[in-house]
Chains A and B, each alone.
Chain A
Amino acid sequence: MPLKSQRNQPPSMAPGMDGALAGSEAAELAASFVEESLALIEQANAALLTLEADPDDREAINALFRSVHSIKGAAGLFDLPALIHLVHAGEDLLGAVRDGKLRVNAAMVDELLAGLDYVTRWIGMFQAHGALPPEKMDIARRFAAAYRARLDAIAPAAATPGAGPEAGPEAVPEPGVRHAWAEAARATLAGEGAGEGAPDTAGVSVEYTPDEGCFFSGEDPLRVALATPGLAWLDIAPREAWPERARFDPYACNLRIRLIACADRAEVEHHFRYMPESVTLAALGPAPAPEPESAAAPAPAIVLPPLAVELLEAQRRALAMPGRQDQVEDIAAVVRNIAASCAMPCPLGVDHADAARVSAAIAALLDATRAASLPDAAAAPLPEGGPVGGAGGASRGEAAERTLRVEQGKVDLLMNLVGELVVAKNALPFLARDAEMRFNSRELSREIKDKYAVIDRITRQMQNAVMDIRMMPVSDLFKRFPRLVRDIARKQDKLVRLEIEGESTEADKNIIEALAEPLTHILRNSLDHGIETPAQRLAHGKAETATIRLVAFQEGDSVVIDVIDDGRGIDPEQLRIKAVERGLIDAERAAQLADAQAVQLVFLPGFSTAETISDLSGRGVGMDAVRAAVERFGGAVSLESRLGQGVTVRLRLPLSMAVTRVLTVELAGQLYGVPMDLVVETVRLDPGAIRRLKQSEAVVLRDQVIPIARLRRLLGMEDVATPLESVLILRIGPATIGLVIDDFGTGMDIILKPFSGILANMSGFSGTAVLGDGRVLLVLNLKEIL
């Protein structure tokens, strides 16, 4: 019965999975695999770095092994032999580490990280194209060979069979090989007159000698053989005479399988690709003179045992385990269920079960099921198992986290709706005013205000709750940096320790994501330009190992992230020279700059301080890019340098960006919004308090000289005289400034809508918002205006 190959299903599933799942299920599974594996790789990366720092960290070793192990387990569901090959080799290596046979060192971590990088890339490709690049197997083999070389180094003698590094997973038999027995078999086939089955066209003969320990590695030789595409003839025989009963090991495979398949060679090769070491393939040529050999094969000796036999034998095995004879209910249940499932009368009653009766029942069922006799497994010596695994269980005290995975779009929608609600509720105070002014009902007005207070409270809570869903700890972002710092430091032969603090600080997901690039850039800058080589550091009397601290904390409505290094700092004098050289500033102004101000020159577009631009911290993209990225999200960046002692870069970003709180201000009868987080205080001043200094104005407020700007002038309007000047004291970056306006309005939550279309290029405004009464509020971009 020539079997047809079934490899016309979606190629992404592993062989044997064909048709097991519907397309949509397979897609769901693949998506889950991608997401989960990437997370596992991240864990593995982190654990590797921990392990490099402390090779004895058991927790890290276990976490690492578990991650890699899980990736392998999940990957097996898909047709990704190269990926599995690589991960498997990695797992073997890590297994040796876990068992204390090997110690982690930097070079090994390099290799493992590089391997993980490939796996990451491949998973990306699998996600995008459903396939891996053509050179995948070469890469996988290279890594596997490297990993195994490390293993072989510790146990050169104990090369395990089946783990030969050279034998790639794809069987590449020599083209000329012929199996002598094949022709004889072919003659038999023809002789049987089974015309349709006879391979009179091209065929492949396969000699398959499963590894002795194959039952333990999930290999099922009979199943594999039977599932060979185009299987036409099969012969199974022991490769050595069966040993006497007492010495018989039922768990060692002693089979030699020969088969002939009428199928494409490539197809057959593909079928056996997971066991290349145990298989030889040969073409079945147009019959040369048959050389009748001793292998006038004994007729197929074994009728294949169904899974039921296997299961029953497993029950027998379980029953023989020390300590299990007293509790046999589960075994009895399985035996009964197997009988029921196969519609066989069960020799085991419902009422009572003890070990002896269960054992007898298994034997009876086996005798009935089994067609041909396998050597009896009952008397086989049972391997000693370890103690029952009860102890190591509940290890870490962390509470079980119940989580719900939600598509981000859904949360965003909810967030937007709550945002709309926040704005809609703003209509109520207007309504209250109308009630009082227009309809003269103070009572109604008060009632509306009361209700407003309630709705306001609830919406606020709702808003907080939704924002909370979107909150992510910065650790999700920070966890990528140890690897980055390590890699760069190693490349530059610098010694750097990255310390992370406050990683549980939370911020909106979008903010966290927006921070990734600027932070990467700052760290690279610091490693490239800030951190000295160990020799330089020693010469300056500093510790050989530099420290970069990455500190996150929440401050008011902002999340603050500091990157603090103890490198050489920034030389303000050099900055002045560079800035002048590049024509960014004239020499006179440069000389006037205080050191602290001169350091800020790095934020000027197109400024690069390194003598040589390294391949790491970009070309032509400097701190100005960082500043632009941070400000795009309403944040600010500042830099402080201590020459010879290091640099602190501080990023300050809003915790959330969906709803913005603004202070409305009035100007020529129009309302404008000013972001509340810039406003330090509001004051009304006597016009005389504002002093003129040449072209500029300033006011002394609590012993501080604050420069004054007038919004009317900034927006090109005429000044008006007022008995009292309304001044907003603003903090913009490091500067404090007073802004004169016509009058203050109220604080208000708005959803800021950025300009689109033609207006998108309009400077001076960051966007618009619709007020509760339908009016449009223009929100000022004061950083630009001032």
Chain B
Amino acid sequence: MSLSPHSLAAPPAPPAPGEAPPCRVLIVDDTLTVRLFCAQLLKREGFGVDEAINGLEGLEQALQHRFDLFVVDINMQKMDGYAFLAQVRRNPDLKAIPAVMLSTEQGTEDIARAYQAGANFYLTKPIDPVRFMATVKLMTGVACP
């Protein structure tokens, strides 16, 4: 039984310059443009952002740092989003970290599969910046105006 202390209540204060970001998000997506877009949105709100281009690399990074949220694409080479989440949920150190799945897949089956694999939410691309940021804040416990 291990709970991530990060995901507990205390809402992080707005980021002060020079301070470590209150929340750290890992973006796992093979599309550079999408990663860049998410990173831009997150960084301007003071989130720390790391990127990985597939599930395998994502897992590697997830094990090296503490993250508060995973933003995961489905369709990737080497290890897809489902497999990544399945690994995360199986890992005692990672299993408590929430995950948003991000995909253009629109079928009922894809969404069901995402939730089954371990996603906590499903956002469809193209990413709506307002919705995306609101989701991230809600899921990481950052005060949502």
Contact = CB atoms under 8 A, between A and B. Distances in A.
Interface string A731-774: 00000000000000000000000000000000000000000000
Interface in B1-40: 1-4, 7-11, 30-34, 36-37, 40
B6 to A, nearest CB: 9
A315 interface: yes
Contacts of B98: 330, 333-334, 337
Contacts of A334: 7, 98, 120-121, 139
A155 to B, nearest CB: 16
Contact of B118 (A324, A350, A352, A386): A324
Interface in B66-88: 75, 77-80, 82-84, 86-87
A20 B115 CA distance: 28
Contacts of B115: 314, 317-318, 321, 324, 385
B95 A329 contact: yes
B104 to A, nearest CB: 5
B117 A217 contact: no
A390 B89 CA distance: 11
B9 A346 contact: yes
**Which of A76, A327, A329, A390 has the largest count of B CB atoms less than 10 A from its CB?**
A329
Interface stretch (A21-29, A261-269, A669-677): A21-29
Contact of A389 (B82, B103, B121, B140): B82
Contacts of B40: 21, 25, 28-29
A556 interface: no
Interface size on B, as a range, is 35 or more
Contact of B31 (A70, A338, A384): A70
Contacts of A390: 82-83, 86-87
Interface in A272-323: 307-308, 311, 314-315, 317-318, 321-323
Nearest to B89: A327
Interface size on A, as a range, is 35 or more
Contact of A77 (B33, B54, B107, B118): B33
A315 B83 contact: no
A341 B137 contact: yes
Contacts of B131: 220, 223, 307
A240 B142 CA distance: 39
A352 B1 CA distance: 9
A330 B9 contact: no
A338 B7 CA distance: 10
Nearest to A74: B33
Contacts of B10: 340
**Which of A29, A329, A333, A396 has the largest count of B CB atoms less than 10 A from its CB?**
A333
Given A16-B129, A329-B3, A388-B116, A33 B33 contact: yes
Interface in A368-420: 382-386, 388-396, 400
Given A29-B40, A330-B118, A385 B30 contact: no
A16 B130 contact: yes
B7 A384 contact: no
Interface in A10-40: 14, 16-17, 20-21, 25, 28-29, 32-33, 36-37
Contact of B9 (A33, A213, A340, A388): A340
Contacts of B99: 330
A598 B140 CA distance: 77
A333 B41 CA distance: 23
B24 to A, nearest CB: 14
A424 to B, nearest CB: 39
Nearest to B11: A340
A218 interface: yes
A72 B103 CA distance: 11
Nearest to B36: A32
A307 B119 CA distance: 16
Closest 7 CB pairs of A and B: A76-B126, A389-B82, A218-B124, A337-B141, A333-B7, A20-B129, A393-B83
Given A322-B116, A333-B7, A383-B112, 12 more contacts: A32-B36, A66-B77, A76-B127, A311-B121, A318-B118, A334-B7, A337-B141, A389-B80, A389-B86, A390-B82, A392-B83, A393-B79
Interface of A: 14, 16-17, 20-21, 25, 28-29, 32-33, 36-37, 66, 69-70, 72-77, 213, 216-218, 220, 223, 251, 307-308, 311, 314-315, 317-318, 321-324, 327, 329-334, 336-343, 346, 350, 352, 382-386, 388-396, 400
16 contacts: A16-B129, A20-B41, A74-B33, A76-B125, A216-B106, A307-B135, A308-B138, A311-B138, A330-B98, A332-B96, A337-B98, A341-B144, A352-B1, A390-B87, A393-B80, A395-B77
